[in-house]
Amino acid sequence: MTRSLRNLPPAFWGLIAVGVLAAFTQPQFLSLPFLMILLRQAASIGIVALGQTFVVANRSLDLSVGANIAFVNLILAHAMWSGYHPFVAIVVALAAGTFIGFANGVLVTKLRASAVVVTLGTAAIITGIGFLYTGGAPGSSISDLVKWLGRGRVGIVPVAGLVWLGFAIAAFIIMRRLALGRFIYAAGDNPFAALFSGLPVDRTLLASHTLCGFFAASGGVLLSGLIGVGSINLGADYVLSSITAVILGGAVFGGGAGGAVGTVLGTALLVTVLNLLTVFGVGEPGKLIMQGLVIAAAAIIYQQGRRNG
């Protein structure tokens, strides 16, 4: 019992603490309509963070998710889709994002270069290509289908929240029910042991980077729908946010911990804290400081627990 309690991600306790704090200081914060607004806002970060979970659990990192989201937004907002069904634009955007992830995976596994440098490099390349493709202008409008995905509601529940749920279930199945998930955790915990045990370490890493690209692009579609217009530099802050959510969810570069549930809780905690700070009148700088403190605290607590356990 104590062991299963200790295995809960830091985000779980954080959410309880924040919930209690909100209940006493800002009761209207916990009302259902407001929580649904939070859910809509959290969905895109949540999906990107789920993608980041695959690579982090695999002892890698993707710093190109921000550029990936921006690129997806540029594709969706480009005027060239005016004659086509909006579905085509979404498929092309998702394909492009998935390809970015695949390219990251190929470079990381074949070149054996550090994932940090490789993904920084691909992020720069994607940003450049995006600018060249649009001529530096944020595109035109975004199709109604994408807007519905980002902003629409089914009853009271936002569509984006349902999409997030779908992605979370998919991520959970991949990580905890499929062989691929076993491989990801094994290769993340000890790459050499995994290799000597005959696991396809390289293909696993390639798969997790590709999945991360696909998830980031999907988050980009939702975010584009929420924003509703083409925008240069969309999603730049998602690199930090997605990593924060993953760390809060308990996954820290291998070690077999964390997963889809942890990351969902981590995203929920992150978005709740940031919004609560807004309610308390804290500005952007204060949020940056808070986010940094939260990352450091979660990482330190997690690390100490691992050493003792």
Partner 1 sequence: MIGKESHRSIAQRLQQDAFWFRQRGALLSFMILGLMLLFLSLFLGERFVSTTNIANLAGQLAPLFLVSLGQTFVLLGAGFDLSVGAVISLTTAILTLDFPDVFKLPLAIAAAVTVGLVNGVGCVYLRVHPIIMTLATSSIVQGVALILLPTPGGIAPQVLVTAASGTLFGLPAGFYWIIAAAALSIWVVHGTKYGVRLYATGENPQSAWINGINAPSIRISTYVISAMCAAIAGAYLTGRLASGDPNVGIALGLDSILGAALGGTLLSGGVGGPIGTIAGVLIIGLLNNGLNLANISPYYQFVFKGAMLIAAVSLFRRKEAGL
**Residues of this chain that bind partner 1 (CB under 8 A):** 58-61, 107-109, 111-118, 120-129, 131-132, 136, 191-192, 201-202, 205, 240, 243, 247, 252-253, 284-293, 295-296, 299-300, 303-304, 307
Given CA atoms 295, 298, 304, 305 in this order, what sign does their dihedral have?
A: negative
Side chain identity, residue 296: A
Please count the residues of the chain. Answer: 309
- 14: number of Cβ within 10 Å: 21
Beta bridge partner(s), residue 153: 158
In the complex, minimum distance from the CB of residue 60 to partner 1, in angstroms, rounded to a whole number: 4
CA angle 103, 105, 106 (to 5 degrees): 65
In the complex, minimum distance from the CB of residue 132 to partner 1, in angstroms, rounded to a whole number: 5
- Reduce the DSSP state of residue 162 to 3 states and report it: helix
Between 83 and 136, CB nearer to partner 1: 136
In the complex, minimum distance from the CB of residue 32 to partner 1, in angstroms, rounded to a whole number: 32
Between 77 and 222, CB nearer to partner 1: 77
In the complex, minimum distance from the CB of residue 299 to partner 1, in angstroms, rounded to a whole number: 5
Between 28 and 308, CB nearer to partner 1: 308
In the complex, minimum distance from the CB of residue 280 to partner 1, in angstroms, rounded to a whole number: 15
Between 3 and 112, CB nearer to partner 1: 112
| H-run or E-run covering 158 | strand 157-158
Between 47 and 298, CB nearer to partner 1: 298
Instruction: Name the phi and psi angles at 228, rounded to 5.
Output: 85, -5
Among candidates 6, 91, 10, which has minimal Cα distance to 261? 10
Between 144 and 284, CB nearer to partner 1: 284
In the complex, minimum distance from the CB of residue 181 to partner 1, in angstroms, rounded to a whole number: 17
Pair of tokens at residue 297: 């605290």
CA angle 144, 148, 150 (to 5 degrees): 115
